[in-house]
A = this chain, B = another copy of it.
Amino acid sequence: MSPMKNLHSPTFSPLYRQIRALITRSLEAGEWGPGDVIPSESELAARYGVSQGTVRKAIDEMAAENLLVRRQGKGTFVATHNDPRSLFRFLRLSANEGALPPIKSVPLECWRAKAGAEVAKTLGIEVGAPTIIIRRLLQFGEEPVVFDELYLSGELFPDLTLDILKANEMSLYSLFETRYGVRMIRADERLRAVSADRVSAEFLKVAEGSPLLLVERVAFTYGDKPVEWRRGLYSTRNFHYHNVLG
């Protein structure tokens, strides 16, 4: 790689960001899958014709954003949702008291439909394009806590059915990643307080009209491409959504 000293160029980006873009492209292309080791820093430095320090800085950034995971003495790995530590990066729930009981995901429904205006806009697809809709209940111990409704672009998850969801104990994002090669790397959430309607109240075993936490999420894969829209109703009697402001 030439240094590309594009002086005074408006599109200037330092060498380590160009390296980062190359590594990201290999991730998108699937050259290294989730959980795999990527080549060592010195190998990458040789491949791209830069110093090890420059590769290192590129990887530093990607590790800080949870795209890669460094393990001293072993190598650098592609991040994966199969890692239990990564689960709570995308499920910000804690128990009001004591430890969190074991989590169980209960798929309820899964069907296909054509994208309406709102879904199409959110997922960046055409109105009328195929989508998948999933309804699902999250239980902590035996207590139902989250009632989720998900919208996915249908093309990315060709054969997804309720049976497949039921057959997989792993988290949804693990399934998406393992079976469909779609890795979620970031999500935006919007939180509001709402009143439980009849259906939600029934699933969550609370009184109709009870206050519930509404969590709307748009999840993105590589290249900030939106691939999931999710609306979750959280029962926050015994659990809460936690967040760190830094």
Residues of A within 8 A of B (CB): 64-66, 89-90, 92, 94, 185-195, 209-214, 217, 234, 236, 240-246
Contact = CB atoms under 8 A, between A and B. Distances in A.
A66 B246 contact: yes
Nearest to A67: B246
B211 A241 contact: no
Contact of A244 (B66, B186, B195): B186
19 contacts: A92-B245, A94-B190, A185-B246, A186-B244, A187-B244, A188-B242, A189-B244, A189-B245, A190-B243, A191-B242, A191-B243, A192-B213, A192-B236, A193-B194, A193-B234, A195-B210, A195-B211, A209-B209, A211-B212
A236 B191 contact: yes
A211 B192 CA distance: 9
A214 B241 CA distance: 10
A186 B245 contact: yes
Interface centre among A64, A185, A192 (most CB of B within 10 A): A192
Interface centre among A66, A193, A241, A244 (most CB of B within 10 A): A193
A241 B192 contact: yes
